[in-house]
Structure 1
């Protein structure tokens, strides 16, 4: 039995009790799983479900302050409790069996890695497959392409908590792109990697951040790209051009094109 006592699943939640319960029920590990739900001012408040093999704690925010503040508070709470690794997932997404075990084993074997993702199945709200995300796995490949494409699926991440605290934690400076902001800061002193196997079913929800806060997300991404731009890396410039295109073109058209391209790639 793998020891997961130094790992905690970190879920920020605003309403969505049923989604929280479905997500927690998806975990299949060989040892008990610790969970911290940061209730970001839900009405009614999120209630911890009874799930076999899970120790669930709820940290309630006094009012809704956004995912950035909820994640920052969650990381601080886990650090205070002596937890070493935070495994991110969002309400509505599903974990594949053994995800935590696999990620922790990799992090233990690769101490330079502070952020570890996994490949992702993207599905609709009714569970129908849409496309797959297979970003680069190795740190060197991720460094080359990290401003040109999405190299990590945020809800698939396992984070080394002491490194996150040292890097300044999550912050609200780049709204709706808090994950990219944190990852870029982490990779100034550490490595990032992906396990080249599927660890997550990511629910693409038209009401999620990528749709409702799309413009803010793209602007924040563009600001980060310009801040971290390596002028001799053509891929960085490609990322900037792509972000500008995202500002000018409709969301649905871009999403449809992305899904078509990814399906073509997967079947090739």
Structure 2
């Protein structure tokens, strides 16, 4: 059984972001949760749902000016896939239209939510909208910039070659996420790519070509601690969606195989060198 203080009913919410909720899964890291939520800078009240994935001690909702924070407690640690699944269902039940993802430790750029909501309101076909992302270290120093394509057609062509969206930067249309089956546990540590590929079968996915997120490179994060599981899940997805006539799909498979045999720290050094000229 999950416990949560109820978010306000949809007819009781006010402001330009009344139908938007920040969605953050968290396992321990109380200080990171508070720091991340405090980074949001918007001209309207913000609602945030923190899904506590069995933390010890439990996550406590921080007091953040201009923000209403609620905590949804999972009965035990079940992984980010189940936490996000429960979070989306909870937000849908409370009447929210959009879920803005972020992870504990990351930081939001000013007006990120307002900009994403405006674009998604203007283009209802978009089910997931990401942003460019500045990768930083624990000290906040810039390492490299991720600039995924802003064009939906380009993202479709390259979806298996590189991740089409940076997951913690994404705003999701909740009804679309539920329509394709929500987050799933079938592809551990690659739940984001699984969701994006299913969304692309029925909707559009795109990116705002501007900075929306500061992503903290954390060696304790999923990309490091569950790296082999993530690569295996990614390979399974690539083979499932493979278009044999698209050379980019084959290149994506080869890239995943290379990642499988390349040490994590070596891979990060390669990324820093590759994107050095893009760092800001």
* TM-score of Structure 1 vs Structure 2, range by shorter chain: over 0.9
What SS does the aligned partner of 1:205 have? coil
Deviations 1:157-197 (A, max 9, x none): 00000000000000110000000000000110000000000
Paired residues of 1:72 and 1:169 also in contact (CA < 8 A):
yes
Paired residues of 1:2 and 1:101 also in contact (CA < 8 A):
no
Match in the other structure for 2:57 = 44
Match in the other structure for 1:173 = 186
Counterpart Cα distance in 2 of 1:223 and 1:78: 30
* Alignment partner of 1:54 out of 40, 44, 67: 67
Unpaired runs of at least 5, structure 2: 1-13
Matched, 1:35 2:48: yes
Paired residues of 2:26 and 2:103 also in contact (CA < 8 A):
yes
Counterpart Cα distance in 1 of 2:264 and 2:49: 33
Counterpart Cα distance in 2 of 1:215 and 1:4: 38
Match in the other structure for 1:99 = 112
What SS does the aligned partner of 1:72 have? helix
> For this pair of structures, how many residues does the alignment match?
266
Counterpart Cα distance in 2 of 1:57 and 1:245: 41
Aligned-residue offset at 1:2: 5.9
Counterpart Cα distance in 2 of 1:182 and 1:157: 12
What SS does the aligned partner of 1:119 have? strand
Match in the other structure for 1:122 = 135
- Give matches, 1:198-217, under 5 Å: 198-217=211-230
Aligned-residue offset at 1:151: 2.0
What SS does the aligned partner of 1:196 have? strand
Aligned-residue offset at 1:68: 0.3
Runs of 4+ in structure 1 off by over 3 angstroms are none
Paired residues of 1:139 and 1:192 also in contact (CA < 8 A):
yes
Paired residues of 2:98 and 2:171 also in contact (CA < 8 A):
yes
* Alignment partner of 1:72 out of 85, 90, 115: 85
Unpaired runs of at least 5, structure 1: none
Match in the other structure for 2:240 = 227
Counterpart Cα distance in 2 of 1:32 and 1:112: 26
Counterpart Cα distance in 2 of 1:18 and 1:77: 24
Paired residues of 2:15 and 2:45 also in contact (CA < 8 A):
no
Q: What root-mean-square deviation, in Å, do the aligned CA atoms of Structure 1 and Structure 2 show?
A: 1.0
Matched, 1:154 2:167: yes
* Alignment partner of 2:94 out of 76, 81, 84: 81
Match in the other structure for 2:24 = 11
TM-score, L = length of structure 1: 0.98
- Give matches, 1:130-145, under 5 Å: 130-145=143-158
Deviations 1:234-259 (A, max 9, x none): 00000000001111121211111111
